[in-house]
């Protein structure tokens, strides 16, 4: 039997502010031993917004643990619990919460550009 696996309860990982945003992330990549993708868990309180951004080369998958909302190119999309969102590198995107409930997401990015501390190659839209 292979021992190349990991099981992590994201709530056991300390939340910390993300480099590009004040929103706290639980950085799961190292805890899971992932080398081909980056994984984070994010909890958004009501009125909280993850800064809009894009990537130069990184594709992302967002999995809604609870129902949630994602802003893609200035359009808010409601995502049901268990919904999955795929984003190529170019669209300007960000998670948002315009409800009264906390939203929980697990975010996957591949390839793992940059480091866990500095995702690198972030593209922030001009204000």
Which residue's structure tokens are 């990982």? 13
pLDDT, tens digit (0-9, with 9 covering 90-100), for 80-122: 999 999 999 999 999 999 999 999 999 999 876 655 455 555 5
Which residue has 């919904």 as its token pair? Answer: 83
User: 48: which DSSP letter?
Assistant: -
Q: pTM (2 decimals)?
A: 0.86
Please provide the distance, in angstroms rounded to a whole number, between the alpha carbons at the two ends of the chain.
Answer: 52
pLDDT value of position 111: 79
* For residue 111, cis peptide bond before it (omega within 30 degrees of 0): yes
Q: Tokens for 64?
A: 């809604």
pLDDT of residue 83: 98
Pairwise CA distance, residues 127 & 107, whole Å:
25
Per-residue model confidence as pLDDT tens digits over 18-76: 776 778 999 999 999 998 898 999 999 999 998 888 988 889 999 999 999 999 999 99
Domains of the chain: 14-116 (2.60.120.10)
Is 90 exceeded by the pLDDT of residue 3?
no
How many residues make up the chain in this entry?
127
What pLDDT is attached to residue 44?
Answer: 96
Predicted pLDDT of residue 116: 46
């Amino acid at each position: 039997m292979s021992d190349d696996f990991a099981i992590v309860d994201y709530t056991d990982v300390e939340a910390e502010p993300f480099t590009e945003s004040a929103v706290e992330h639980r950085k799961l990549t190292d805890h899971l031993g992932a080398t081909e993708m980056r994984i984070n868990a994010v909890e958004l309180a009501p009125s909280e917004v993850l800064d809009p951004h894009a990537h130069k080369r990184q594709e992302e998958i967002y999995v809604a643990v609870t129902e949630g909302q994602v802003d893609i190119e200035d359009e808010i999309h409601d995502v049901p619990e268990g919904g999955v969102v795929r984003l190529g590198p170019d669209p300007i995107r960000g998670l948002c919460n315009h409800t009264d409930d906390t939203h929980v997401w697990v975010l996957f990015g591949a390839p793992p550009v940059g480091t866990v501390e500095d995702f690198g190659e972030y593209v922030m839209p001009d204000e």
